[in-house]
Every structure is written in C-alpha cells, then in structure tokens.
Structure 1
Amino acid sequence: MSPPPVWSRRNRLPGDDGNPPLAPGSQVQAGKHSVAAGGDVGAVITGDSNAITHVYVVPSAAQPVSDGPVTRPVSACHPLDLEVHHAIRFAPTEAILPVYVPREHDAHLQRIVDAARGGRSQLCVLVGESSTGKTRACWEAIQVLAAEEWRLWHPFDPTRADAALAGLASVGPRTVVWLNEAQHYLAHAQVGEQIAAALRTLLADTRRAPILVLGTLWPVHRDQLMSLPSSGEDPHAQSRPLLAGRQVHVPDAFTDGDLVAVRSAARLDGRLAQALAGAADRRITQFLAGVPALLERYEHAGPAARAVLNAAVDARRLGCGVDLPVSFLEEAATGYLPGSVFESLDDDWLQQALVYAERPVHGDARLLQRARRTPGSTPVDSCFRLADYMEQHGRRTRRDLCPPASFWNAALHHLPGPADVFALATAAEARWRLRYSRLLAARARALSPQEPALPVEGQSYASDLPDESDIWPADHPTCRALADLAFAAAETDDYEQAATLALEAAYCCQPDALADIALQHERAGLTTEASDLAHRAAANGAAYCLGRLAMMREEADLYEHAEHYARAAAEYGLTGTLAELAVRREAAGNKERALDLWEVAAEFGHPEALANIARLQHEAYDTDGAARTAREALDRGDAHPFHSHRIEPLWEKLWPHGIEPDGSPSPSTPTA
C-alpha cells in the first residue's frame, strides 16, 4: 500500500476527504468515537497527532508479512548497546545510568509510543544538540514495550545504511526501528533517499502495523535533511515529507520546573547533586555525559594531542566518516604544529597524544575512542572515533578555519574509503583549494571507479520559505481539524478564537496553521498580535513565518521592522530574508545599509554573505579588505556556485586557479 497523498487545505482533489485510502478487502474496526459508515467500515474522526494510519486493518491471511531482520526483545536490550551516552561515575558501585528525570519532550514522546501501543505505526525523531539526552529519552520511552513483547531492530552491520536498506522491507509488526544518529541513514549520499522512501512505505503499510521508528538528529543534520536545494536535483525529496511534523525538540538546558525535579531525584543519585552544583547554564545532561571534563581535557591538551584532535575534528566536520585511520591522523597532525614545536617532540609523540586522548574521564567519556573491528573483518589500519560532543564543539569553534596542507596530503595518502575522499574533494572545492580538489577526486575515482563524478552543484541551505508539500504532513487528523477550525474562525473575523485554535494545533504537532493565522492578523492590522503569534510559530517549528512577516513590513515601508524580523528569522537559521533585504537596500542605492545587513547575515552563516561583503569592499576601493574577506569566505567553505543572488565572486577574479591551504595563490599549471 503506497503512502496516502500529502494533505493541503488549499488544494484537495474533488472527492478527497483527507482520510487515507483503504486497501481492497480490508476490515476496519471503528474507534470508540468513530461514526460507522455501514457494514464493517468506520470513519475515524479522532486520533493522535502523529498517526500514520487511523484505521485498524486486519491483514489477510493470504498475505503474510515476510520474516524480518534479526531483532531482540526490548527487554533484552542494553542502553549502551543502543548508543546511550556513558554517564559520569564517581564510584564503581553506581548504576550505569543516573536516575532519569522526565521533561516536556518525554511527555510528547510517550504519546507517540502510546499511539504505537494502540496499533498505529509511528515515527518520531528527537532533535537536539549533542549530549542533551535524546537517545536516553528514546530508551526510557520504550521501556513500557518490554512487557508487551515488542522487539527492537538496530540496523548497523555491515554499515548502518546498508543494514537499513536491506532490512526495512522485512520489518514485522510490534518492532521498534532504532535509528540513533539518523543522518547516517537518511543523509547517506548513495542510499539515503531509498531508506527514507522505504520508511515511508513501512509506516503506511497497515499489514505490518504497529511499527515504532525512533531516531535522533543534531539540528545541523536536521537542517541538511529539511533544506531546499538552490538548484539542480533535490537530494532530500523523500526525507523532508518523512520528517515533517514528526520532530520533537530536545532543549539544551533544564527549565525551572525541571530543576525542581532534579533536586528531588538527587536524593537518590549523587551524580544529579553533582550536576546541580557543577553544570553551567542548567546543562544537566551535558554534565552527566562528562562534557565539561572532556572540554577541560581538550583545552589542556599538549601541542601534539591538540594537533591530533584538531585534525580529527576537521576530518569529521568536512565530511569524513566516524572511523579515522591513525596513519591519517599522524600525517595530518604535523601541519597543525609550528615547525619548531614539531622538531622538539619526542619520537613517540603520536603514542603519547593518543594515550592522552583515549584516557577516560568520569567513567568512560573519552576524546578519542579506539574503533573495534567487527569479527571476521579484514584487518586494516587502526582507527579512532572522535567524541560526538567534540565534533559538535569543533564545528562551531573551527568553522572559519581551513585545514593545513598536511591534512589534505594525509587524505590522499591514507584514507581508504572513496566516500571519505570524495567528501574531502567537495570540501576542498568549496574552499577554492582547486588543486587538492582535483587530486582528491582523482584519488577517489581510483579507489572506486564505479563512483559517480564529483558533484559541482550549488550548496543547499535552509530556505526561509517552506516547501509547500511539507507544510501539511499526511494523516494528522487532530491538527488538521484544529487548523480548519482556526481558518474558519479567521474567515469570520474571530481572530482571537482563530489564534487559540491555531496555538492548539501548533502544540499538537503542526505550527504552520499558527504561522498562517499570524500573517492573517498582520493583514488585518493586528500587528502586535501578529508579532506575538509569529514568534510562537517560530518557537514551535515554523520560523519561516518571521521571514514572511519581515517582508510584509518591508512592503509597508516599515524598513526597521522588516530588518528586526529578518534578524529574528536568522536566529533560527533562516538567513534568506536578511539577504533579500540587503539586495533591496543596494538596489535602492543604500550600499552602506546593504553592507550592514550582509555583515549580520555573515554572522549567522549565510553562504553568500561574505562574497557580497568582499564585492562591496572592492567596489569601494578597499582592495586589501576585500581580499581578506574573500579569503575568509573561502576558509569557511563558501566557494560554491551562486544562484539566489547572482554575482561573480571576487575570488574568481583574484585567484582563477584557486588558492593553497595557506591562502597563497595556486600556480597556473597544476602540480602534484
């Protein structure tokens, strides 16, 4: 059974009542509040906000579900096997995990699990920064399934993506599909879209219900999967509708109410008391995961250990997989050390650095973890894995830095996987290191001749406007009903009731109705209410509303208001409105204000901001400043083709053959 079509209030087909189609010959059991249409067919008019099927279908005995992949009873699973973070331990007698304190996202997640227990297939992805408790929340949520004989499947062998693609078609009822770090499945360059499509098929297949799919994502990976392409093919056309409306935000910090519960639980677990005393900015889970100790260890690392760690951080943030060969780290690290420092190191500097990075702090938290080989696998160079929080920390602190030449040479010499080498070829091109991009692309093709040619498409980034197909995910009847009622109230000018109903829809699972109602308030002249509702819509996942409000104020000649809301949208990662306003200011002759707006956009990471700043500086005859800004853009990785605001980047004029890792111009004749 194929997934039902995406519902849109503005574009329903004639005769389409918005309910999912029924398989021929299916039996339907009416719910407690259903209205039977006759015989054994019932029309469900209530349901949870995340349900995939709102009818109970008894599969035909003539169509049995095939044997599924290898699963384990939920009761037999261990949290560490499912990648729940090790917690700090001040004594060997302490439990592996500290006492759990539920928060708001746990209540939402429990509703999803309860719906699955009731017979309806569900998917929920927890989105939050590293060490915020996403995987632990999933673990706690499935404990109620242990007594009901549910089983769990964690696809990871031979790789996560390969296992998922091979097994999803055979998953049977009452199975938890565990997709921790879901980017390894959905963002996979070759099969990510196939996996997303297979998940959509699984969730819509009533013969295999109930299924519970749980995943986790960092915001940066969520943005990647939800982003619209600037041009060319759409690499995430399946993932966006899969994830739309099925994300739960996990905050970085605990609220006042959360802290009250932590203080109560601290009487049972001394680690919680330690976290209350030592955690900065209410980041309790990060403290429990050993993050402060890891950061302190990183900050106090000696030159050699720091160089190895920075090389590992750069490899991960530029696209390499989790397993980093020690030979790669050794050669790469040399360029992170000044020559005089490197010459003064002991002969066993690498071993000393690895011992330092591997040493556990507060239990089993480590900067680098030695990767264990799968039994029977071919022996290869020893590999290490970077702590995920350090990866995230490095993405922020090293975002503006280009790795040294030793890093790129190490990739050419020591990375065995073509996917990793292709990823670094792309990263080199994005940094205008064209010589290394060519060398790495050739190396990747030599490692795997069947791999496709290096893509040269423009970079994708989060759009300020939603994809219309993603606004209303299929089969969310409660949200759909609330949205319809809100729109009906607005049509009769009952804006207060419309806002109340739209807020309920947003809290349920869909903030887009609230965004629409906020803009209707703006059109009705209720600007204060519009502002409040737009901010609430953004906080619940519809940040594009702030961008639209900015443009409405712009059209009303309220330019300061427009810039205010454009900046507010940028705080949610949506920088396109700032860019649009900068273009408008320049077109109106106000280059000074355009430059100011591009600088704000650059602070928030708009990929074309620095190029435009460099162009404006060059036009103002600030040639040295323009060159510095252009190099800053290239070090950040902004040298992709431009589409939304067409300009000729300054670096194409200044350095037509590319630049070297140290920023010097590359020779006109390519060299090895």
Structure 2
Amino acid sequence: MSHSGRSRADALKAANQRLPKEQKPLAKSTVSDWFRGESVPKQFDQLWALVEVLVQWRGLDVSTPRGKAGMHAKRLTWQELWDGARGSTTEPSAVQTATLGNPIEDLDPIRHLEVHPAVQAGQGGSDLGPLPLYVPRNHDWQLRDEVEQARVSSRLVVLVGDSSTGKTRALWEAIQHLSGWRLWRPADRTALVDGLARHASLARTVIWLNETQRYLLSSSPTAANNAAVALRDLLASPGRGPVLVLGTLWRDAHDVLTTAPASHLDPDDNAQARTLLSGGLVIDVAEGFDDDALAEARRAAASDVRLDEALRHGGRRITQYLAGGWALVYRYEHARPEARALLDVAADARRLGHGEALHEAFLRAAAAAYVDPEHWRTQTEQWRATWYEQATAYTSHPWRGVPGPLTPDIPPPGHPSPAERCYRLADYLLQYTETTRRCHVPPTAFWEAAAQHLTDSDDLRALAGAAYFRLRLRYADSLLHRLLEVDNGNLHGLRFLARLREAVGDRRSAEQIYRRAPDHDHWARKNLARLREEAGDREEAERIYRKIGEFDPTALRNLARLRKEAGDPEEAERIYRILRADPYADRWMRYQDRIADRKDAHFIYRHATATGEHQLALAKLREKAGNREGVEQLARQAADAGDASPLRALAATTMGEEGQRLLRYGLESDGSISPPWW
C-alpha cells in the first residue's frame, strides 16, 4: 500500500464503509490475522470489501466497461481462493448456516425441482440415466452468463416458453457450477413471503420459482403484489446477497403479468410483478430446435438412443418428445371411460382457474358425473365399487419413465404433506385441453362438488368468476357462499357476491351482504347508501355518506346532491366548498366513477378470451343479414368460452321475456335457462 500513500488503517476504514450497515464491521485485529495467515475470513463479503478497496487504489478504473469486467474477474478469482482456503476446520459462516434450502449438489432435479424425466429408451438404453444428454440452445448462453454474474451481484432470470420446451432443465444445467450455493424452492406464495421476511441474508442462494405464476398471479392482487415487492426488496439489497432468482413462465402468464392496463384509470393488479420482471432478464425459449441445435443433437444421439428416437419421430420438437408430451395426449385420448372422466374433471378445474393441487374428495365427487351413464349401468358391482381407484391407477401410472397425466402432488423437501391427498395435472395436458375443451361447460355436478369440497379461497373465487362470466349464475353464487363460509372475512368474496346479487335483481340480498362488510370498506358502505337511496330511505343514505365522506370525496358529492334535492342549498354549498378546496378530490371522483363497476371483478377479465370479441363482430354481420338464430348461437358459444357480454346484450335488447329470465337466473350447464334460485 506504500505506493498509494495510504495505510492499512485507511484501507480498513474504506472497507467498512462499503459493508451494509447491518453487517458487523471489520476489526483491526481481524485484518492483521488475515495478513499474518493466522485465520481465514469468515465471510466473503468482508474479505471482498477490503480487496476491492486495495484493487481500486492500485488504479483500476471501474467506471469503464473494461474496468468493470476486470473487477468482476478478480472477484470470481478471490471467491474461488476463499472457497478453497476455508477448509473443513474453519468455523461455519453465515452462508453455511443458512436454514433455507439445501445444497445444490444434494438435490434431485426430477424429484425436487420438477424437471421432466425423459422417456425411457428401448433396446440399447438400459444403462442411461433419467435425463437425456443436454443439448445447449440459444437461450442457454444468455442464461449461463447471468448465472456467472450472480456470483457478484443478485440477479433475476425468467425463461418464457410453452410447456415442455426445456425451460426447467435449462435452469438446472445453468447452476451446476455454483459450488457451495444452496437452492430454496418455496412451496407457495405464502412460504416465499414468509421466508424472505425471516432471513436477512440469503447470500449464495438460488431461489427456485418454477412456474413463477404460482407466486405472482392470484385472484387476490394484494397477496401477489406482496410476493413481488418482497422479491424486489431482496434484489435491491446488496447486503442480503448475492442471490439468484430463477423462474419459468408460460407465454400467456407472461403476457398477463407484463401487459399494462389500457388506461391509467384502470385497475393495475400486476404493477409490482411487471416492475419486478422489467428489472430482471426475461429470456424466450423457442418451441423447437434450430438447425445448429439439431446438428448438436445428432452428434449427441450417438451416445443416447433417446435423442436418436426423438430426432426420428419428434421433428424439431425434441424436448416435447423427450418429456413424453405426445404420450400424455395419446393416453388422454385413449383412456378408459373412468380415467378419461377423472382427467376431464382435472382439466376443467385447472383451465377455469383452480390451482395446481386438486383435492381427491373434489375429484372423486365430480368425476362420477363425467362417466357415461350407459357405461356405468353396464358395469359390474365390483367395478362400480372400485372405479375411482382404477381411474387413479391409470392416470398415475408412468409410461417409459414419464409420470402419468394425473399424479399425486408431492410437496418440496422440508414441507409438510397436505392433510388430504392431492393430484396434479401434467402441464402439457393442461395446455392441450385449454384448446380442445375451450367451449365446454362442466356439468352441474362439477360445480356442486366444488362448492361442497373446496376450501381454498383463491380456488373458490376463481371458479366463481369462471361461472359468472359464462352466465352460470347460480353456480357462481353457491361458490361465493362457500368462499364466505370458509373465509368469513374475505372482502373480495363479499363484494363479488353483492354485485352478483345486484346484477340479477336481488337487491334485498345485496343490501344484506353490503351490511356484512367491515366499517372500513367504504366501497361497500357507499353501495349500501346507494341502495338505501334508491329504496327511498334518504335518511340512512345521508347518514352513511356523512360517515365515509371524510375518506371518500364521491360520498361527499352524493351527500351534497341529496341535501340540495331536500331543499337545503346552504348545506349543499358548504359541502361543495369543501370539495373545491381539496385539489385531489376531483381527480379521485373521476377515477372512482371510471372503475366503480369493474374494479372488483377485474381479476377475472385477465383470463377472459378474445373469443367473445371475434364472435360478436361476426354476430353483428349476421344480424344485419337477418340471421337472428345464428347471432344467438354465436353469443352462446362465446358465453361458454368465458365471455357472456354478447349474450347479455342480446338478452337485454332482442330476446324479450326469455332474455329477462336469462339475465335474472342465468344458464344451466346444458345451456337452458336456470329455474328461479333466489
């Protein structure tokens, strides 16, 4: 240090200034022991802070790209030296004593991390492992570069692509050189938020968020935003890392999370997730192999007959063939009636918004209605007593090493098993049935089984939304009542149910539901006041508006209007003066006016298809040609696919008394108008 004109004490002071405030500063005696070789640094961050100071004092300019690259290379070198110097006799560091996750080398990618096993080889492949030889593709080079950068500073990388395109396997291959790192796979969104809150430091940890939509998409925007905020805070805190957050997303989920609302006045449920993803690296994974990857696969096929088979039969879709996607579809399409019924229930539940874990009681109760009645009658008593067990035996059974289409859901290591057995539908089969069953409405027994057996608030609310936007109103109503039964304080459920009852004309029940909302729910109180006003009870309406007016300018505006209509212009003017004096009141009222009728149901619109818009345009053309029956048929198809707006419009304008009954009671599963149910 003599050439710099600075002392060791100066270096110590500069190094401590670089350390996070919550980290213990370096002591002079500690650094002296390092220089004399009497001890090894316990924490790499402390060592690197000192080395970084000394390197910069020697003239390395880190403001240039070359200087930054040089500093990065030096850090990697010192990291390796430190890893080797610690030895087995050194005391465990804060990283080594971390309680989250497991060492990467202790994990099985198939059992623990959801990497798809490959189809088993035929003749000549008995000595091959469960995973085929890996063929790097274009996305791998970007991914591996980011993983190397994560040794120095925290990184977020998300691979986006369709099912079985090799996303999860690519992540696994990319982290194989992270010696000494741990990997943590949170079981769900709650586990993620809790784990990040409890651990100040997650240095040298990979956070594995396969199917990232599990953590960032929810029917409760607050819960999803909490997860996104927790991850952003982690990535923005150098003292907590370096960490590497790895994720995968299907393309449609990525579109939902990253698409901003059309207007700044529209609800923006995914703002935090969008900001999180924009701060990381999102890498596209192609559906098929390009020419270079195919050439590399042909070379590797000499050592792996599974690759040779995939090249002969899979075209460019090598990973899909190896993951058994074609076999899953074949087994689904050729399943025995009882197994096909079980798979269709699982597919319908998942495509309508149910989470990945499907409870056995629900599946058993709903699947019975999917079995063809004639097939059921012609079977033996023994078959009828064991049909469900036969169905699960078929759906769970692996084929050539590939798990079955519907398999028991196994929690990650260290997480408790659920009280009730759950099953999980294969991702590839879900993607397939989202197209083939798009316009299929589940039978009544499906909705009844859901209302009887489901207990998860997100699942109930998602299925209620799917029913509502298909005009299956009584099913939506029963699911929302079940939601409030298992989660009495669920504010979103209360609001949804009240709006549904208002939509069908049951204002009395809507009012009772609004009264159940807590006092701090000004939205519900304001709607209650509106109903009381429309019922002629202006006294109670005024009382409610006064109570919430301090927090909601629109309530004050309504109160002023009522006072003016009651012949009290002085009081009305006094209230208007209060509103004019508030610079934010006008903006707030315009915002509330825009979103009042759609804010609470916005989460469902995210999953609505474009089918209704396209068919409505065609319907208008047919209407001009006088084809009323064709118009109604198209509108019904759109409703079955999840967009009832064309059918609602027809019911309100051209269907007469039948249309009024449809709007009042909705449809049954078979498309007939429901009998009165409220």
TM-score by length of 1: 0.65
CA displacement at 1:122 relative to structure 2? 1.0
| CA gap 1:622/1:70 in 2 versus in 1, 3 angstroms | same
Distance 1:236 1:38 in 2: 47
Higher relative CO (CA 8 A, sep ≥ 6), structure 1 or 2?
Answer: 1
Give runs of aligned pairs for residues 453-532 of structure 1, distance below 5 A.
453-454=492-493
Matched, 1:339 2:373: yes
Letter of the aligned partner of 1:298 in structure 2? Y
What is the aligned partner in structure 1 of residue 650 from structure 2?
650
Distance 2:146 2:167 in 1: 15
Distance 2:415 2:65 in 1: 54
CA displacement at 1:419 relative to structure 2? 2.2
Asked whether the 8 Å contact 2:218–2:458 carries over to 1, the reply is: no
| CA gap 1:221/1:652 in 2 versus in 1, 3 angstroms | farther
Matched, 1:265 2:300: yes
Distance 2:421 2:225 in 1: 31
SS of residue matched to 1:145: coil
Asked whether the 8 Å contact 1:132–1:286 carries over to 2, the reply is: yes
What is the aligned partner in structure 1 of residue 434 from structure 2?
395
What is the aligned partner in structure 2 of residue 165 from structure 1?
193
What is the aligned partner in structure 1 of residue 466 from structure 2?
427
CA displacement at 1:176 relative to structure 2? 1.1
What is the aligned partner in structure 1 of residue 575 from structure 2?
none
SS of residue matched to 2:370: coil
| CA gap 1:101/1:47 in 2 versus in 1, 3 angstroms | farther
Asked whether the 8 Å contact 2:323–2:402 carries over to 1, the reply is: no
CA displacement at 1:390 relative to structure 2? 0.8
Distance 1:379 1:316 in 2: 19
Q: Deviations over 1:538-587 (max 9, x none)?
A: xxxxxxxxxxxxxxxxxxxxxxxxxxxxxxxxxxxxxxxxxxxxxxxxxx
| CA gap 1:373/1:334 in 2 versus in 1, 3 angstroms | same
Matched, 1:132 2:165: yes
What is the aligned partner in structure 2 of residue 634 from structure 1?
639
What is the aligned partner in structure 2 of residue 349 from structure 1?
387
CA displacement at 1:288 relative to structure 2? 1.0
What is the aligned partner in structure 2 of residue 625 from structure 1?
630
CA displacement at 1:429 relative to structure 2? 0.7
Letter of the aligned partner of 1:637 in structure 2? G
CA displacement at 1:137 relative to structure 2? 0.2
SS of residue matched to 1:282: coil
Matched, 1:298 2:329: no
Q: Deviations over 1:213-243 (max 9, x none)?
A: 1101111211121123466421111111211
CA displacement at 1:92 relative to structure 2? 5.0
CA displacement at 1:383 relative to structure 2? 2.4
Asked whether the 8 Å contact 2:611–2:638 carries over to 1, the reply is: no
CA displacement at 1:31 relative to structure 2? 13
Give runs of aligned pairs for residues 49-198 of structure 1, distance below 5 A.
69-80=99-110, 81-90=112-121, 92-117=126-151, 119-146=152-179, 149-156=180-187, 160-169=188-197, 170=199, 171-190=201-220, 191-198=223-230
Asked whether the 8 Å contact 1:30–1:42 carries over to 2, the reply is: no
Distance 2:246 2:66 in 1: 23
Distance 2:58 2:617 in 1: 65
Q: Which structure has the larger Rg?
A: 2
Distance 2:309 2:362 in 1: 39
Matched, 1:314 2:318: no
Give runs of aligned pairs for residues 360-399 of structure 1, distance below 5 A.
360-372=398-410, 380-399=419-438
What is the aligned partner in structure 2 of residue 463 from structure 1?
none
Matched, 1:285 2:313: no
Letter of the aligned partner of 2:159 in structure 1? L
Matched, 1:452 2:487: no
What is the aligned partner in structure 2 of residue 500 from structure 1?
none
CA displacement at 1:442 relative to structure 2? 0.6
CA RMSD of aligned residues (A): 3.7
Residue of structure 2 aligned with 1:415, choices 447, 450, 454: 454
Give runs of aligned pairs for residues 247-262 of structure 1, distance below 5 A.
247-262=282-297
CA displacement at 1:371 relative to structure 2? 2.8
What is the aligned partner in structure 2 of residue 660 from structure 1?
668
Asked whether the 8 Å contact 2:611–2:641 carries over to 1, the reply is: no
Higher helix share: 2
Residue of structure 2 aligned with 1:670, choices 648, 673, 677: 677
| CA gap 1:420/1:47 in 2 versus in 1, 3 angstroms | farther
Asked whether the 8 Å contact 1:334–1:342 carries over to 2, the reply is: no
| CA gap 1:246/1:650 in 2 versus in 1, 3 angstroms | farther
Distance 1:413 1:355 in 2: 25
Deviation larger for 129-138 or 323-332: 323-332
| CA gap 1:637/1:392 in 2 versus in 1, 3 angstroms | same
Asked whether the 8 Å contact 1:88–1:365 carries over to 2, the reply is: no
Distance 1:395 1:431 in 2: 16
Distance 2:298 2:429 in 1: 28
Identical aligned pairs, as a percentage? 41
Asked whether the 8 Å contact 2:196–2:234 carries over to 1, the reply is: yes
Asked whether the 8 Å contact 2:166–2:319 carries over to 1, the reply is: yes
Q: Deviations over 1:105-162 (max 9, x none)?
A: 0011011112112x1211110011111110100000001112xx22221111xxx111
What is the aligned partner in structure 2 of residue 610 from structure 1?
615
Structure 2 alignment gaps of length 5 or more: 1-14, 20-47, 70-74, 77-93, 500-607, 654-658
SS of residue matched to 1:176: strand
Letter of the aligned partner of 2:166 in structure 1? G
Q: Deviations over 1:627-653 (max 9, x none)?
A: 11111111111136x9xxxx9732455
Letter of the aligned partner of 1:199 in structure 2? L
What is the aligned partner in structure 2 of residue 592 from structure 1?
none
SS of residue matched to 2:434: helix
Residue of structure 2 aligned with 1:243, choices 273, 277, 280: 277
Distance 1:376 1:192 in 2: 21
SS of residue matched to 2:176: helix
Distance 1:619 1:665 in 2: 26
| CA gap 1:337/1:211 in 2 versus in 1, 3 angstroms | same
Distance 1:39 1:207 in 2: 26
Letter of the aligned partner of 2:184 in structure 1? W
Deviation larger for 195-204 or 82-91: 82-91
Q: Deviations over 1:378-431 (max 9, x none)?
A: 874432211111111111211222112121111112223232112111110111
Q: Deviations over 1:151-200 (max 9, x none)?
A: 221111xxx11111011242422211111111111113442111111111
| CA gap 1:214/1:409 in 2 versus in 1, 3 angstroms | same
What is the aligned partner in structure 2 of residue 218 from structure 1?
250
Distance 2:330 2:616 in 1: 36
Distance 1:114 1:665 in 2: 61
CA displacement at 1:48 relative to structure 2? 9.8
SS of residue matched to 1:638: coil
Asked whether the 8 Å contact 1:30–1:44 carries over to 2, the reply is: no
Q: Deviations over 1:465-520 (max 9, x none)?
A: xxxxxxxxxxxxxxxxxxxxxxxxxxxxxxxxxxxxxxxxxxxxxxxxxxxxxxxx
Distance 1:251 1:241 in 2: 24
SS of residue matched to 1:215: strand
Asked whether the 8 Å contact 1:112–1:124 carries over to 2, the reply is: yes
Distance 1:124 1:628 in 2: 45
Letter of the aligned partner of 1:413 in structure 2? Q
Letter of the aligned partner of 1:211 in structure 2? V
